[in-house]
Every structure is written in structure tokens, then in C-alpha cells.
Amino acid sequence: MDIRTSFAAQTYAKARPATQPAPDAAGPAGASGGFAQALGSFADTLNAGETTVKAAMTGGADPHALVEALAASELAVETAVTLRDKVVEAYQEILRMPV
């Protein structure tokens, strides 16, 4: 096990933010490509909402745009939570299957 500080710094530098999908060698084709595309769309929606909120706080966006951005962000988060719940439910069903 290598515990050098330079190794830790290199590993940290290679790390990516959690909202960015991992680069996929297979490309956008297939199920993993669709998931990566959906994750990227989710991150873009949240970033656009944050940008609009910041602009509204400084007086650069109208209230209508702020409400639209917040509604889009809320819908994206609710969709992600629903998807997570379905995945957990499916996993629990698999665990209950007799072997």
C-alpha cells in the first residue's frame, strides 16, 4: 500500500465531481450511454437553475424565469428520487427471491 502524499494528491487531482458522468469507452450507444446522457441532463438542469437563482439574487433575472428554473430543478430532483426508489425496490425484490 502506497501512502505517499504525492500519490494521494495525484489521485485527488484525477477525481471528478459527482455530478459529471464518468467517461465511457463504449460511447453513447447502449444502456450505459443513455444513463450517462440522463445524468448529464440532470446536472445541466441543476446548473441552469443555480445560475438563474444567482442572477435573480443580483437583479439580472425576472421572477418568471426564476420560477421556471426552480420548477425544472424540482422536477429533476423528484424524478431522480423516484428512479432511486424504484431501483431500491427492485433490489429488495431480488433479495427476497428464494435461491
The owner of cell 487531482 is 13
**Per-residue pLDDT at 14:** 72
Which amino acid does the sequence have at 82? T
Instruction: State the pLDDT at residue 94.
Output: 94
Mean pLDDT of 7-21: 65
Q: Quote the crossing angle between the two packed helices 31-57 and 63-96, to the nearest 10°.
A: 150
pLDDT above 80: residue 9? no
pLDDT reported for residue 85 = 96
User: Which tens digit of pLDDT belongs to each residue from 51-90?
Assistant: 999 999 998 888 898 999 999 999 999 999 999 999 999 9
C-alpha 46/C-alpha 72 separation (Å) is 8
**Quick one: pLDDT band at residue 39, thresholds 50, 70, 90?**
confident
Query: Rounded to whole angstroms, how far apart are CA atoms 52 and 66?
Result: 6
56-92 b/e (C-beta count within 10 Å ≥ 16 → b) = beeeebeeeebeebeeebeebeeeeeeeeeeeeeeee
What is the average pLDDT score of the chain?
Answer: 80
Rg, Å, the chain Cα set: 19
- Where exactly are the structural domains of the chain? 27-96
* Burial bucket for residue 46 (CB in 10 Å: 0-12, 13-18, 19+): middle
